[in-house]
Amino acid sequence: MLNRIFGLETEYGLLIHEDHPDSSPTWFSQRIRDHLFHVQRKGVLDLHHRGHDEPPGNGGFLTNAGRIYMDMGHLEYASPECHSLTDIVASDRAGDHLLQQTIEQLGLSDQVSLIKNNIDHETDATFGSHENYLVSRRFPFSRRGLAPLVTFLVTRQIFTGSGRIGSAGPQDAWIQMDRLIVPRSAMGPRTGTSLPFQISQRTDHIVNDFFEWVQHNRAIVNTRDEPLADPNQYRRIHLLLGDSNMTEYATALKLGTTGLVLQLIEEGHAPQDLEIDEPVEALQEISQDQERRWSVQLQSQKTMSAIEIQERFLDCALQHCKGQDEETDWVLAQWTSVLHDLHGDYQTLVGRVDWASKLWLLESFREAEHLDWDDPMLKSLDLEYHNLNQGKGLYYGLLEEGKVPRLTTDALIRIAMEEAPKNTRAHGRSALINHLLKDWSGSESKVLTESNESFPSYVINWSIFQVRGRAPFPMPDPFRTYLDDVRTHLDSVVV
């Protein structure tokens, strides 16, 4: 894609197959992490405090230049920086496979399952799927400049959503009214609804259009300015509202279409006069619309369907982006195809769009077993769609039946489990990790001992690292590999 760096962060749910387990999901998650780093030696653990809730040993960088770490008790995987859709999809799947492979090596497959979804049906907890897009510092990062992006994000769920049974309870939050920040409860009581099925998992948990904080005030656009690159040149668009996708097609289309809309905004070609009257409410109404008409009221008081709004963005992208590279043309062709099919029977989208695939499976089972939508068995099947165990997950059943198009191959995913993309700074970071693995035993005692020293043997962050005895090595440009420079830096003699 043109001038774009992509990244994904996935938080995983962990399901224990025991009524009264002796150990918690956090304990199992820590065992998985420790086995991956200490036994499999897939990377090096942090030796420094990354934050008050990320002590030494909490997580670390992998040989593929991504990260696996603990976040509030659950496992999270952050992909390396990727410059193509093929690489980001392969890197995303690599995280799934690394963790599932570790579970199998530990002999835990019958005890636990990793679930790549975004909700807990019992507690209303939500697990994040965060998207990262590099843009120029000149990007119009203001309410007015971001208005087209908000409209696009609210409506893209019709092909990016992963679907769920039911709905979460009303979410409380602090929201902005004029120049004041007030609790949402001040707006009056909100009543929850019981739904058979909705097309997105995260929409119930999004409570603001713009907000800086992440937890409890999740916004359509996160406004935190943390570029993880040269701040004079770049900004990182960090999105929290999306669902974790199982299909490679949906992952690529989600990232590809969003990347093109960001390009349209950067170049001043985004469609105008599509500002939504109440974006958060529209986000949830689209997801919960059982008739799938997906009507949206604009600030102009005009009503349009989400499909029509997406078609406006597609028309602009076809006019201004077509022909710029092969991946762009693939995105435009598939965007056209999926919007066309959304006008008809949703079953034509099975295998490409997660919510449609899940709904078809649930409807088929429900009708065969004569079940109501509130039957607990359907919630179990909802989760099983996202099970990373290929012998159990319903998505993998569709894949085995040939109903799911692939954008990668198993061989490409295996490579992405070990190696970084060759055209971003992840390549240089991967060289660093492999260098350190040659000298580090990976033992827990080593981590604890070195973390208590005045300066550990290494400190690694996304845009800079330092090895003890050498100067810090900044990597401010995500488009550079830094490979030769990193190797020279590591091979230099310490005086």
Helix and strand element counts for the chain (H, E): 15, 20
Catalytic residue among 71, 209, 243, 354: 71
Q: Contact, 334 vs 257, CB < 8 A?
A: no
56: closest CA among 81, 79, 37?
37
The residue whose two tokens read 């995983």 is: 12
Parallel, antiparallel, or unpaired for β 219-222 and 208-211?
parallel
Q: Is 71 among the residues known to form the active site?
A: yes
How far is residue 358's CA from residue 164's CA, in Å, rounded to a whole number? 8
The residue whose two tokens read 């994040």 is: 128
Phi and psi of 170, rounded to 5°?
-55, 135
Q: Contact, 433 vs 63, CB < 8 A?
A: yes
For 108-120, letters b (16+ CB in 10 Å) and e give: beeebbbbbbbbe
DSSP 354-416: HHHHHHHHHHHHHHHHT--TT-HHHHHHHHHTTB--TTT-HHHHHHHTT-S--SS-HHHHHHH
Phi and psi of 167, rounded to 5°?
-150, 160
How far is residue 434's CA from residue 437's CA, in Å, rounded to a whole number? 5
3-class SS shares of the chain: helix, strand, coil, % to 5: 40, 20, 40
Q: Contact, 113 vs 124, CB < 8 A?
A: no
Annotated catalytic residues are 71
